[in-house]
Amino acid sequence: MKKLLLTVIMVVFPSSIFAIGGLGLSVGSATFSVDESFSPMMVLEQEAGYFHQHSFENGGSFGGYLYVDIIPVLGGLDIEINGLASPYNFTFYNDAMELADVEPDTFKFIFAAGNTYITIQKPIFKLGIPFLAKAKLFAGGGFNRHAAIPIINQEMMESVVLDEDGNTDLAEGEFDSDALIDYLEENMFEATGVHFQGGLQFRLLTFDLFAYYRYTIAKDVVPGNAGFSSMNMRLGLGI
């Protein structure tokens, strides 16, 4: 009787209905490096010092995903949106500091980018236990779009350090957070590119777990880089 019941269930409710798609959260660790850079600090058209953007590397990402596995011929459609961030140090030197042998202050800023990935991917190998668990190895590729904030420089400093009348005053002015937001929005760098990814998906009942590698080709999204790689994890629900 039990065998007959199991056979009926497997015929009426095939395991494929548990693989329509899924959604959830994603985290990642991106691998890249950005070289240090130096730029002059100008006051009244005279060079009064210089900026030092320190080198930095790697970053973390956090976001969400949605995928469907029911597209004929093409395979599955995967959409992921995430934010990537990496802190770095920034130092300002001027002639007076050097003459007085004063150690300059070093400040922290952050490099950040918002990323959208649209991927077509197909399973390479599947393994499953009906109604309980399944696993598959997958690979795919697609297009991506990015929006990244600029690296700090004199133009940014002049836009966000203002006096009480709203005028640029690097010597006596104060930091204006609203001006910083406006500057970052107006000077955001946008780019598109392609990517390739592959990894393993494991599903237990309705829970999804992914581990996958992605290589993104998109010039200067990360300053001075033609692309970057990342290792990623996902946790979500199957639908």
* Closest by Cα among 64, 41, 62 to 52: 41
> Do 222 and 119 sit in the same domain of this protein?
yes
**Residue 31 belongs to what domain range?**
22-149+188-201+214-238
Token match 């409710």: residue? 13
> Do 161 and 56 sit in the same domain of this protein?
no
Write out the H or E segment, with its range, that includes residue 157: helix 154-160
Ranking 46-55, 125-134, 161-170, 176-185 by mean pLDDT, the lowest is: 161-170
Q: How many domains does the chain have?
A: 2
> Do 62 and 125 sit in the same domain of this protein?
yes
Q: Let me know if residue 13 belongs to a domain.
A: no
CA atoms within 13 A of residue 239's CA, in its CB half-sphere: 11
What pLDDT is recorded for position 26? 97
Q: Which one of 41-50, 88-97, 111-120, 126-135 scores highest in mean pLDDT?
A: 111-120
Q: Residue 203: is its pLDDT beyond 50?
A: yes
Stronger pLDDT, 155 or 78, i.e. the higher one: 78
